[in-house]
Structure 1
Amino acid sequence: MAKLSRLKVYDVMGSTGLVPLFYHKDLEVAKRIIKACYAGGARVLEFTARGDFSHEVFGELNKYVQDNYPDLALGIGSITDGASTSLYIQLGADFIVTPVFREDIAIVCNRRKIPFFPGCGSLAEIARAEEMGCEIVKLFPGAVYGPEFIKAIKGPQPWTSVMPTGGVEPTEESLKQWFNAGAYCVGIGSKLMKKDSNGAYSFNEIEQLVSKCTKIIKNLKSK
């Protein structure tokens, strides 16, 4: 069962503006990534289900978050069907993120009042997702569409909230472009999850980069 209400998840996503996303099969490494992101100011994190037995890692990871970071929204990404959605909700996911819009997933999430952020690439997909109860849609892959896409759809649909993912850089220039175009928040993955020359995660660098992004976003949102 999710520890945070969906209204709280929406609020935290909007106030912090940043959703780091990551996957690692090693539970202890995943814990350290969460610790670094949290220390940097992130309060919403997406664990992507991209490996075998990822549900086992997520289940244990969510227990760790509930015990140590009760105000942190931990969701699951890369979900592609309603059955997987039900499984991860049972494991305590605070929200569900998908690469495409699927009505079966929307129905499962709405039954349990769990936020659902589907990947959309057209105004028609976005409108249908909103009709199915989606408050925030994911623009994916963001690099293909660019900030101008958000700016364009906000004209006829100013109520639409968009989270671009894939193509957002952890730099002031990139963040400024997306938020000035009307992004509600942004998702950033590998660009945040820095590694050293040996291929191991640099947790200090991850914390510093997340902190830098959250401060830039806070400044952009205050204007």
Structure 2
Amino acid sequence: MQQLKTALTKCKIVPVVVVKDVAHAAPLANALANSGLTVVEVTMRTPAALNVISEMVKARPDLVTGAGTVLNAQHLQQARDAGANFGVSPGTSVALREAILASGWNFIPGCATPSEAMTLAEHGFEVVKLFPAEVIGGLNMLKSMAAPLPHIKFMPTGGVTLAKVAEYAAQPNVAAVGGTWIVPPTLLEAGDFAAIEKLAREAHDAANGLISV
């Protein structure tokens, strides 16, 4: 978990990507890593996802590559077998939580309420995903939870835009911000990795206070 926490702290932004073509895996990994990003979440929403994860890990072992949309124990094992460095879930059922704990694998479980976050923290999770962030209160919710729950770090994801990323990243209880805008499907399908690298660098710089947007 320390490698993941260090990577999150280093760049404060995690692109959340949906990849349909395994041929895009290596060039995408290169574009993200070359932009300064250190972590990526590849959602398990396409038939190619597991192969994409494997290829991204091979292409850029310096990029901490995670599997997103892990919903059950089977997904968890598949993601681990594919070589993913960690897993992420949109929410956390009791069955999934127990599978994660039994596996000992690096994982950022999802939550949407303070009670869910507290329960996950009680089970030893140091970083949790706040999802869908903008829908359930976004920045105001994170600010409200900072004082009573200072021991819990969040990765807000869902609806966050470039215009808000700097403010999210600056919150003391935010480990990193999940960004779905960084790798648009249109650019990925067009194979325009130069444009993706530009968006990734912009997101990195905004999250780290290097530019204002």
Q: Are the counterparts in 2 of residues 166 and 187 from structure 1 also a CA contact under 8 Å?
A: yes
C-alpha deviations, 1:89-141, integer Å up to 9, x for none? 12221111111112333333334432211221111000111122211111111
Give the SS at the match of 1:45.
strand
User: Corresponding residue for 2:184?
Assistant: 194
Q: Are the counterparts in 1 of residues 187 and 193 from structure 2 also a CA contact under 8 Å?
A: no
* Pair 1:71-2:66 in alignment: no
AA aligned opposite 1:217: A
Structure 2 CA distance for partners of 1:216 and 1:198, relative to 1, 3 Å: closer
* Pair 1:12-2:2 in alignment: no
User: Corresponding residue for 2:176?
Assistant: 185
Give the SS at the match of 1:101.
coil
AA aligned opposite 1:163: M
User: Corresponding residue for 1:170?
Assistant: 162
- Tell me the TM-score normalized by structure 1: 0.84
Aligned residues: 208
Note the residue ranges of structure 2 that are not aligned, 5 or more in a row: none
C-alpha deviations, 1:57-101, integer Å up to 9, x for none? 433x25xx23x3222111100111112112211222111111111
Give the SS at the match of 1:178.
helix
User: Corresponding residue for 2:53?
Assistant: 58
Q: Are the counterparts in 2 of residues 102 and 118 from structure 1 also a CA contact under 8 Å?
A: no
Shift of 1:214: 1.4
Within the candidate set 30, 36, 61, 1:41 is matched to 36
Within the candidate set 129, 143, 146, 1:151 is matched to 143
Cα distance in 2, alignment partners of residues 179 and 56 from structure 1: 31
- Tell me the TM-score normalized by structure 2: 0.88
C-alpha deviations, 1:26-80, integer Å up to 9, x for none? 1111222221111111110111000235334433x25xx23x3222111100111
* Pair 1:101-2:92 in alignment: yes
User: Corresponding residue for 1:213?
Assistant: 203
Structure 2 CA distance for partners of 1:215 and 1:57, relative to 1, 3 Å: closer
Cα distance in 2, alignment partners of residues 180 and 73 from structure 1: 22
Q: Are the counterparts in 2 of residues 81 and 104 from structure 1 also a CA contact under 8 Å?
A: yes
Q: Are the counterparts in 2 of residues 45 and 73 from structure 1 also a CA contact under 8 Å?
A: yes
* Pair 1:31-2:23 in alignment: no
Structure 2 CA distance for partners of 1:84 and 1:153, relative to 1, 3 Å: same
Q: Compare 13-22 and 46-55 and name the one that shifted more.
A: 46-55
User: Corresponding residue for 2:75?
Assistant: 84
Q: Are the counterparts in 2 of residues 106 and 116 from structure 1 also a CA contact under 8 Å?
A: no
AA aligned opposite 2:8: M
Query: What RMSD in Å do the two structures reach over aligned CA positions?
Result: 2.1
Cα distance in 2, alignment partners of residues 198 and 69 from structure 1: 18
Give the SS at the match of 2:209.
helix
Structure 2 CA distance for partners of 1:163 and 1:76, relative to 1, 3 Å: same
Q: Are the counterparts in 1 of residues 44 and 68 from structure 2 also a CA contact under 8 Å?
A: yes
